[in-house]
């Protein structure tokens, strides 16, 4: 089953934050020395914090509903402002009902194979 592509009704707002999540294995030695190595082939995962501000209610509904439908576990494709299409999951997101509406989300890069 191919994964969906997230196509929000408006581009993400400026201010996207990228933070790599790095998994390592470390072996401590008695003299305070440690030796580290990457934990697996995909040991560096991108984590992005995004927001969509100044949204109409319908636009906010569409973005929020997409994340809810993917339940934090179903990957989807999306290209950040760097233009690179990556596979992501989104477990953390929220919506501010206001005038204007805002949706914020944290994407974690997914390495699940396409089926």
pLDDT tens-digit map of 9-56: 999 999 989 999 999 999 999 888 899 998 888 889 999 999 999 999
The pLDDT value given to residue 1 = 59
The pLDDT value given to residue 63 = 98
Distance CA 5, CA 29 (A): 46
Q: Which two tokens stand for residue 91?
A: 């477990």
Q: Find out whether 59 and 52 touch, Cβ atoms under 8 Å.
A: yes
Strand 76-79 with 34-38, pairing: unpaired
- pTM for this one? 0.87
Q: State the pLDDT confidence band at 82, using cuts at 50, 70 and 90.
A: confident
- First vs last Cα of the chain: how many Å apart? 5
Q: Which two tokens stand for residue 1?
A: 């089953």
Distance CA 110, CA 74 (A): 9
Looking at the DSSP assignment, which residues form a beta bridge with residue 22? 44
């Amino acid at each position: 089953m191919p994964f969906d592509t997230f196509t929000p009704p408006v581009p993400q707002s400026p201010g996207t934050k990228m933070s790599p999540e790095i998994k390592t294995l470390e072996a401590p030695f008695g003299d305070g020395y440690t030796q580290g190595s990457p934990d697996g082939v995909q040991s560096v995962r991108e984590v992005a914090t995004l927001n969509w501000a100044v949204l109409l209610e319908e636009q906010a509904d569409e973005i929020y509903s997409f994340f809810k439908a993917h339940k934090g576990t179903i990957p989807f494709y999306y290209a950040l402002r760097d233009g690179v299409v990556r596979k992501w999951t989104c477990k953390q997101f929220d919506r501010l009902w206001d005038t204007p509406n805002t949706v914020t989300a944290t994407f974690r890069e997914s390495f699940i194979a396409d089926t």
